[in-house]
Chains A and B, each alone.
Chain A
Amino acid sequence: MTITRLTAARRLREQNVSFDPRSLSGLALWLDASDSSAVTLNGTTVSEWRDKSGNARHASQSTAARQPTYTTAGQNSRNVITFASGRVLTMSVPLGPAFTILLVATPSTQANSYILACGASFGSSPAIISRFTFSGVVRDWEFYHDDMRNNVSTTDRIQIATTQAGYSVVGATHIDGGSVFGYLNGPQAATKATAASFAGDKTMTLIGASNAAATTNPAAFNIAELIIYSRVLSATERGRVTRQLGRRWNITIT
């Protein structure tokens, strides 16, 4: 009986201890909308979303008309950032040959949205890392994984389809020349072998658009948290981060 109580008590402590993404090596970017000390506001819009990873890869927007909105108590009583058409944050996050992306977000309307993109390194048609698309009630989270240069083909992606509304913890892992995996609230939800290795620089530069002028982006989503590692996390590591995100944002993780 004593052992059982100790085990239960330990389990309860572990559930209540916050997990810090910085405890895992290779943290490249950590954007947390719930931390108001990491957000600079221009009235109700966001001019800077500061990177908590220690790498100072802050996401910013100095033009008022392009700034996304800071939405208080958007999810689980925590603040989120709302992107609409014409709103974009720019940054510079080198991705390298292997990476893990974990994103907490939701569409705000049934509109296709560019979420993350690589920008100027790729000429006039920046390559997209992630976007939503809709087909009826089914939403697809898409991660593009092949040669991320101009005119990325729609075949060069994984799609994570769901009819679940609201916020999700969406993940993707990538290795140049290797496989790409997609995860939805924990379990693997998509996979595809990469057709070719990436060439040249891969720098993620945009949240909310496919180009820095935000001229071609439909966008209608809320983003709560974005974590990127410059390596592929193990299943155990990914599980820890995912469960923490689920706890923070009241998302059921399976």
Chain B
Amino acid sequence: MRYFRSTAAVYESIRSQLDAAWGYPNAETKTETALPAAHELPADAHDRVYLAISAEYCDYILPSQMLPELLASGAVEEIDAAVYAAVLPPSPLG
């Protein structure tokens, strides 16, 4: 897994770009969007949203092309599992 955080606006812009490129929503495949909507993600007190996503997904052509520039610009920050876990709701059993 890889973990990222950004503002909701930046995140939604990325999600929209992916959706447009991949043709979502797609009624035939019953897929609405590439990524969860920002309001579904954990967030912190600074209104940053946090995304956990498989490394495999990040290796898809489009994300792999977008990520370096996003990270370099600072619009998206890659974080570690511990930072991500700190903003999660409590897990039932761990």
Chain B binds chain A: yes
A interface residues, Cβ below 8 angstroms from B? 40-43, 47-48, 60, 62-67, 84-87, 124-128, 131, 150-152, 154, 210-211, 213, 215-216
B35 within 8 A of A: yes
**10 residue pairs bridging A and B, Cβ less than 8 Å apart:** A40-B29, A47-B29, A67-B31, A125-B92, A128-B93, A150-B92, A152-B92, A152-B93, A154-B93, A213-B41
For residue B29, which residue of chain A has the nearest CB?
A: A42
Pick from A60, A64, A84, A151: contact of B34, CB below 8 A: A64
Pick from B1, B32, B88, B89: contact of A63, CB below 8 A: B32
Give residues 16-57 of B contacting A (CB, 8 Å). Answer: 22, 24-26, 29-36, 40-42, 52-54, 57
Bound state CA distance, A131 and B93, in angstroms? 10
Bound state CA distance, A202 and B77, in angstroms? 39
Whether the pair A62, B40 counts as a contact (CB closer than 8 A) is no
Chain A binding surface, main DSSP class: loop
Pick from B30, B40, B88, B89: contact of A42, CB below 8 A: B30
B interface residues, Cβ below 8 angstroms from A? 1, 22, 24-26, 29-36, 40-42, 52-54, 57, 88-93
Task: Give the one of A42, A151, A215, A216 with max B CB within 10 A.
Answer: A215
Bound state CA distance, A40 and B89, in angstroms? 31
Whether the pair A215, B31 counts as a contact (CB closer than 8 A) is no
Using Cβ atoms and an 8 Å threshold, which residues of chain B touch A126? 92
B91 vs chain A, min Cβ distance (A): 4
Bound state CA distance, A27 and B52, in angstroms? 36
Whether the pair B57, A216 counts as a contact (CB closer than 8 A) is no
Bound state CA distance, A41 and B26, in angstroms? 11
Bound state CA distance, A210 and B1, in angstroms? 17
For residue B31, which residue of chain A has the nearest CB?
A: A42
Using Cβ atoms and an 8 Å threshold, which residues of chain A touch B26? 42
Whether the pair B1, A85 counts as a contact (CB closer than 8 A) is yes
Bound state CA distance, A67 and B40, in angstroms? 16
B61 vs chain A, min Cβ distance (A): 13
Tell me whether A63 and B36 are in contact in the complex, defined as CB-CB below 8 angstroms, given that A48-B30, A86-B53 are known contacts.
yes
Pick from B34, B42, B52: contact of A85, CB below 8 A: B52
Using Cβ atoms and an 8 Å threshold, which residues of chain A touch B52? 85-86, 215
